[in-house]
Structure 1
């Protein structure tokens, strides 16, 4: 894998990690099989994801300017410039949930409890509309 785009010779230890990164909660079949990432992106996430996650959560301290810029990007204080920064933003956006389209609008769904809440809200809206229709019919009679 060519990491010249990601790190230079002076900062060869940037984003190093001793284990691969997996997110079974949001991507249970893995990054490659999710259909959301290219093979290269999936490999980069698996290789550097632990370090990126820890830096973004601030449980790891940035060791150089490159990592500090990533922290700034992850916290919204700077624009993404490198491949890893852009990839991390893509990952975090996808990990928030996929859009769920309903009659009443678009909602991001992260778990089944959100689905139940959305269905309940939709049923309430339908009941309100039916009550409104019944009131209009009564006024006409």
Structure 2
């Protein structure tokens, strides 16, 4: 059975630089989340690890199996690449901080309408 599916192979994936413009628009090395070695490992191996973990390609060696098992939490990560991938997954999948004040801003028009209404009520009371 061939390991090449949809044109993906270990060689082509290792030639691609892994980036995540959504979560790390300035790159891994400038984020402050990763060490220099971890940033280099993610850039170099990220496409390959993602394809392995997502099942787009099959594991060819014991190292590949170790990548998959460490990504799924079955074994402790033992290499820089495995630790970097695990740290990356934890960072992008962490819960987003919520606000105690809600998610919508109060519109200034509504605030002004309420103020005018309160003033009208006060004026009506003074006239009575």
TM-score (norm 1): 0.57
Q: Which runs of 4+ in 1 moved over 3 A?
A: 101-104
Is residue 50 of structure 1 aligned with residue 34 of structure 2? no
Alignment-derived partner of residue 83 in structure 2: 86
Alignment-derived partner of residue 14 in structure 2: 17
Alignment-derived partner of residue 32 in structure 2: 35
Which one has a larger percent strand, Structure 1 or Structure 2? 1
The equivalences for 1:1-141 within 5 A come to 17-97=14-94, 99-100=96-97, 102-103=99-100, 119=103
Q: Which segments of 5 or more consecutive residues in structure 2 lack a partner in the other structure?
A: 1-9, 105-128
Report the alpha carbon displacement of residue 85 of structure 1 after superposing the two structures with TM.
1.2
Q: How many residues align?
A: 94
Q: Which segments of 5 or more consecutive residues in structure 1 lack a partner in the other structure?
A: 1-12, 105-117, 121-141
Say which structure, 1 or 2, has more relative contact order (CA 8 Å, 6+ apart): 2
| Change in CA separation of 1:94 and 1:49 when aligned onto 2, cut-off 3 Å | same
TM-score (norm 2): 0.63
Report the alpha carbon displacement of residue 103 of structure 1 after superposing the two structures with TM.
4.4
**Root-mean-square deviation over aligned CA pairs:** 2.5
